[in-house]
Amino acid sequence: MNNVLLQTKNLSKIYTDDRKSIVKAVNDITLQIYQGETFGLVGESGCGKSTFGQMLVNLLEPTKGEILFEGEDIFKSRRARKEIPQKIQMIFQDPYSSLNPKRKIGWLLEESLDIHRKNLSKEQRIKIVDEMLELVGLDESYKDRYPSQLSGGQRQRVSIAIALILKPKFVVCDEAVSALDVSVQAQILNLLHDLQEKFNLTYLFISHNLNVVSYMSDRIGIMYLGSIVELGDAVTLSKNPIHPYTKMLFSSSMNVGEADSGKIQITGELPSPSNPPSGCTFHTRCAYCTELCSSARPELQELPDGRQIACHYAQKFYQESMEKKQ
Ligand SMILES: Nc1ncnc2c1ncn2[C@@H]1O[C@H](COP(=O)(O)OP(=O)(O)O)[C@@H](O)[C@H]1O
Ligand code: SF4
Ligand SMILES: [Mg+2]
């Protein structure tokens, strides 16, 4: 049995601005993340991935819904809320802006030990900092350098060291390699993977890049305009995507010339989240749209292979894909 580490129940975030326009950035997401897994969250830019991730690390207050970490509501339980920085951490996309340029790397690494591990002596703190640097592939000499003296990949290694220094259980990686050169991306992904095994970490791995998410994840949630439209085992989804949006994403991430049955062309643009389409929010771009789709919102339903899909015709598409296989 998989142990649930974190779950969201009907989690929603609505942004309002001065002109009272509202954006439903995250709309009613209920999901579980299991201990030790990498849960990948993927979708086009603006679909609400970062908003979702930031709520999980308590950087943003939800408009509605619950987040349970180890069974406790992180907004209702004072103890759970206090412990979040030690148990849940985040790695951001841009190591250029997330590291204070005025501080040396050694200081940046010691900072959270100063705040959260007050009982440690200076020698103990230094020892932990040195060990952490070594774990992310940097030697002690980096302690005396400033972020501006490091390459993008080295900075992201420092960000990872800072995120892991308090030994968290759960780490949200938000576009953690998107700002890096492709050759460096692979090194950082492998580092994250090694550290996960070493510390039994659980990751929420957020990216707009389906290839990166597929490489890293055990399970994947496909997000569209604030909602999950398909969720399931990473291998199952990549071998046989069912939701028309998932198909669109997978076909667009394929290299030219790759085998590609049932290819769907990317059509149209992401509608504005402040004025989302009625019914199924994907209906304005879906080749299979019917009248029902534009009037009724499809709920997530489970298919025989365990995946969940929000589409009125999920069963039909699933049957068709099974018949094609035979
Ligand atoms: N602070 C904010 N105020 C108003 N709207 C926001 C704010 N942050 C994000 N949004 C909007 O919410 C939607 C989701 O954004 P975001 O969570 O950053 O998506 P993603 O990470 O998938 O690109 C977007 O339409 C974005 O413009
Ligand atoms: S509900 Fe309709 S519009 Fe939405 S994905 Fe399914 S077929 Fe397409
Ligand atoms: Mg984002």
Give one DSSP letter per residue of 257-270, joined into a string.
TS--TT-----S-P
Q: What is the pLDDT at residue 19?
A: 73
Q: pLDDT digits over 17-75, tens only?
A: 777 779 999 999 999 999 999 999 999 999 999 999 999 999 999 999 999 999 999 88
Instruction: Note whether 242 and 199 are same-domain residues.
Output: no
pLDDT band at 77 (very low <50, low <70, confident <90, very high): confident
Whole-Å CA distances, 231 to 179, 228, 252, 264, 274: 26, 7, 19, 19, 24
280 CB near ligand 2 (under 6 Å)? yes
Instruction: Note whether 116 and 171 are same-domain residues.
Output: yes
* Joined tokens for residue 149: 């003296």
**From start to end of the chain, where are the E strands?**
4-16, 22-34, 38-42, 64-69, 72-73, 88-91, 170-174, 202-207, 219-224, 227-233, 301-302, 308-309
Q: Which of 195, 217, 239 is the last residue of a domain?
A: 217
CB 158 within 8 A of CB 138: yes
Mean per-residue pLDDT of the chain: 91
Instruction: Note whether 195 and 317 are same-domain residues.
Output: no
Q: What is the pLDDT at residue 257?
A: 38
The residues near 19 (Cβ < 8 Å, ≥ 6 apart) are none
Say which amino acid occupies 119.
Answer: N
- The CA distance from 167 to 189, in Å, is 19
CB 13 within 8 A of CB 55: yes
CA of 51 to the centre of ligand 1 (A): 6
Of the candidates 135, 307, 150, the one whose C-alpha atom is nearest the C-alpha of residue 220 is: 307
Q: Which domain holds residue 86?
A: 4-217
User: Which residue puts its alpha carbon closest to atom 3 of ligand 1?
Assistant: 15
Q: What does residue 145 show for φ and ψ, rounded to 5 degrees?
A: -100, 160
Instruction: Note whether 53 and 171 are same-domain residues.
Output: yes
Instruction: Note whether 190 and 110 are same-domain residues.
Output: yes
CB 301 within 8 A of CB 231: no
CA of 229 to the centre of ligand 2 (A): 10
End-to-end Cα spacing for the chain: 31
User: Which residue puts its alpha carbon closest to atom 6 of ligand 1?
Assistant: 15
Q: pLDDT digits over 140-149, tens only?
A: 999 999 999 9
282 CB near ligand 2 (under 6 Å)? yes
311 CB near ligand 2 (under 6 Å)? yes
Higher pLDDT, 18 or 132: 132
Pocket of ligand 1 (CB under 6 A): 15, 17, 23, 25, 43, 45-51, 273
Q: Which atom of ligand 1 is nearest to the CA of 223?
A: 22
Rg (CA), the chain: 21
Pairing of strands 301-302, 308-309: antiparallel
Instruction: Note whether 208 and 246 are same-domain residues.
Output: no
**From start to end of 36-138, where are the E strands?**
38-42, 64-69, 72-73, 88-91
User: Which residue puts its alpha carbon closest to atom 25 of ligand 1?
Assistant: 46
Instruction: Note whether 159 and 202 are same-domain residues.
Output: yes
CATH number at residue 24: 3.40.50.300
Instruction: Note whether 238 and 208 are same-domain residues.
Output: no
Q: Average pLDDT in the 269-286 region? A: 91
CA of 223 to the centre of ligand 2 (A): 14
Instruction: Note whether 201 and 295 are same-domain residues.
Output: no
Q: What is the pLDDT at residue 264?
A: 43
CA of 290 to the centre of ligand 2 (A): 8
- The CA distance from 101 to 105, in Å, is 9
- The CA distance from 160 to 199, in Å, is 13
Q: What is the pLDDT at residue 76?
A: 83
Q: Which of 217, 251, 285 is the last residue of a domain?
A: 217
CB 142 within 8 A of CB 149: no
Which of the ligands is closest to the CA of residue 173?
Answer: 3
Which of the ligands is closest to the CA of residue 13?
Answer: 1
Instruction: Note whether 32 and 157 are same-domain residues.
Output: yes
Instruction: Note whether 171 and 123 are same-domain residues.
Output: yes
Higher pLDDT, 253 or 2: 2
User: Which residue puts its alpha carbon closest to atom 1 of ligand 2?
Assistant: 311
Q: What is the pLDDT at residue 252?
A: 76
Q: How many residues does the chain have?
A: 326
- The CA distance from 150 to 157, in Å, is 10
Instruction: Note whether 119 and 81 are same-domain residues.
Output: yes
Which of the ligands is closest to the CA of residue 290?
Answer: 2
Question: 43-53 in b/e burial notation, b at 16+ Cβ within 10 A?
Answer: bbebbbbbbbb
Q: Which of 160, 191, 217 is the last residue of a domain?
A: 217
pTM equals 0.94
Structural domains counted in the chain: 2
Q: pLDDT digits over 158-215, tens only?
A: 999 999 999 999 999 999 999 899 899 999 999 999 999 999 999 999 999 999 999 9
Which of the ligands is closest to the CA of residue 298?
Answer: 2
